[in-house]
Amino acid sequence: MSNELSIGSRIIILRKEKNWSQVELAKQINASREIISRYERNESQPSIDMIVKMANAFDVTVDFLLGQSENAALDKDTIERINDIQKMDSSTKNILFNVIDTYIQNFKTKQAFAK
């Protein structure tokens, strides 16, 4: 997700990824469908409280929702895993990185042959 998207565009994208209607998102965060619609059209800016509620409902960080950090394109699970990896000793990290590199290479090879 580009950091240049408006918050309204981010809300639309995240809501559609969850396959939620505006009504369903509104229920998740205890708001009205009308306010969700105004947020999505950038006619109104959500309060900090609403931003936190939406981030929790979408299972993303507030930074992700706002697009304000270098990790804005990462979801909560990815960030949590990265933080856990950073706590590991270097030997364990190297083993893990070798496994990840193998999967990435395999993925890229499959992508190349799928074209």
Tens-place pLDDT, residues 20-55? 999 999 999 999 999 999 999 999 999 999 999 999
- Report if pTM > 0.85: no
Which of 10-14's residues contact partners 24+ apart within 8 Å by CB, and which partners?
10/65, 10/66, 10/67, 11/36, 11/39, 11/40, 11/54, 11/65, 12/40, 14/54, 14/58, 14/60, 14/65
**30 and 15 in a common domain:** yes
Residue of higher predicted confidence among 61 and 26: 26
pLDDT (tens digit, 9 = 90+) per residue, 4-15?
Answer: 788 999 999 999
**69 and 88 in a common domain:** no
Residue 25 domain flag: yes
In the chain, how many domains are there? 2
**109 and 58 in a common domain:** no
**39 and 95 in a common domain:** no
Interatomic CA distance for residues 83 and 79, integer angstroms: 6
Confidence of residue 2 (pLDDT cuts 50, 70, 90): very low
Per-residue pLDDT, averaged over 65-89, amounts to 79
**94 and 64 in a common domain:** no
**48 and 88 in a common domain:** no
Range of the domain at 85: 77-114
